[in-house]
Chain A
Amino acid sequence: MGAALAIAKREWKAYFASPLGFVLLILFSLLLGLFVYLWSPFGVPTLFARQSADLSGVFAARHLPLLFVLFGAAISMRLWSEERRLGTEELLLTLPVRPIDAVLGKFLGAMGMLVLCLATTLPTVYVVWSLCDDPRGLEWGPIFGGYAGSLVLGATCIALGQLASAFTRDQLVAFLVAFTLLALWFFLGDLATNLAPHLPERFAGAANEVQQYGLTALFDSVDRGVILMKNLVFLVSACALLLGLNAAVLTWRKAG
């Protein structure tokens, strides 16, 4: 575990050894700020138009999932591909580190970056808090729930991107593959709804079932500050599966 933490620290610092980390933070906060304060592509009323002191603009069903499609791919694209391009993979994998430790270390480093991105919404929390004239104060439950749900959803997006990154030495390829897969996941709900009428009867039920596991559907309840156990179990096991696959890819490549 010590090795994983050392790798996590190194990965986290690596984001700020190049402009990448700063660019990610600035773009993330600009886009989310746009969605929350000025204009939402999904027609969610802006913070000031809504006249209620809550963070539903931040945690609206589609805002963060949309950003995770872009930023999940962007945060994770370099994790393995850069290592392979520079040839530092040999160094890392010949250190006394199990593949799963290396995978976890990199994942945690990327999660650090995601936490920082989410931290750029803290000023919005302050704005909402200062606007709140309810004598009972802010409702903190939904806020914590919203952050927790966002972290789990973002973690799964990063795990997917990290796996994509393990297959190529080209960061752009890793980004495009992860972005496309995440976008498909984002639109999974719409896709299933649109396909369902055209499918034979017995598949229509399956389409409805699948719809619940779209990126936006999973985030639906977080919007209301509720984390559904079913969604949580799905996301955590998907994340664990992706990380396990990633470790398997490393082991398998040694045999190549």
Chain B
Amino acid sequence: MIRVQDLCKSFGSHRAVDHVSFEIETGEIVGFIGPNGAGKSTTMRMLTGYLASDRGRAEVLGFRCLAPSARGAAPHRLPAGVEPALRRHARAPFLRFVAEVRGIPRRERAAAVERAIELCALQEVARKRIRECSKGYKQRVGLAQAVIHSPKVLILDEPTEGLDPNQRVVMRDLIQGFAKQGATVILSTHILPEVELTCPRALMISRGRIVADGAPKKISGPLGTLEQAFRQITQTKE
């Protein structure tokens, strides 16, 4: 489903991703964890085809990355000021734009937009501008645009960032809902208990290298909690 082999990426002399390899099977939810600057976002950006790798190979659904297909990966990170936004008069023009660019046929477009609105519980803000929405809604608009074409793979870069505990639960339920419908999910986060709750498998990355891979329980193993393991593994590496 997602196959990463020997992936490398440098920015100048800084090696952001250093020979990373992993595989993710259909229907898995994988938590991608690691300190800031460890290479999580860079790896995910190579998976979505936003960045090219220096060497190595990344495949999503058999598609080589940098040639993302309409049915392939969907990035999630929604930046602060997406314009034109969900506008007052029309319903969710931003989502309709994404649906159109994703090549959803005209006849199915409205239904796809409504389904995404419903899935991500955006009914209340469907006529608002995105910049007027609260952080929780913005993150959900980001998720809605990523799932509008019912992708088989979701790549979510910190989907719960900046959300309050209630919103986090909603987001977590949404993500688990997609996984139940057979989507493969890879998500990054700094909130380790969340990984223990949501992800049967965690990938830990530090200084561009994979340093742990397995069930959160297994990683924390003798060290107690995932947080303790995280601190021990990533700090000794520094």
Residues of A within 8 A of B (CB): 2-3, 6-7, 9-10, 13-14, 17, 86-88, 90-91, 93-97, 254-256
Contacts and interface: CB of A to CB of B under 8 A. Distances in A.
B82 A88 contact: yes
Contacts of B83: 14, 17, 86, 88
Classify the interface of chain A: helix, strand, loop or mixed: helix
Contacts of A95: 98, 101-102
Contact of B75 (A7, A86, A94): A94
Interface residues of B, number: 31
Contacts of A97: 101
Interface stretch (B22-30, B65-73, B174-182): B65-73
Contact of B50 (A2, A6, A93): A93
Nearest to B87: A17
Interface string B74-103: 110111111110000000010001101111
Contacts of B223: none
A6 B80 contact: no
Contacts of A10: 84, 97
Nearest to A93: B50
Contacts of B93: 13
B112 to A, nearest CB: 14
Interface of B: 11, 45, 48-52, 66, 68-70, 72-75, 77-84, 93, 97-98, 100-103, 145
Contacts of B79: 86-88, 90-91
A2 B80 contact: no
Contact of B69 (A2, A3, A87, A96): A96
A87 to B, nearest CB: 3
B78 A2 contact: no
Given A91-B75, A254-B52, A96 B84 contact: no
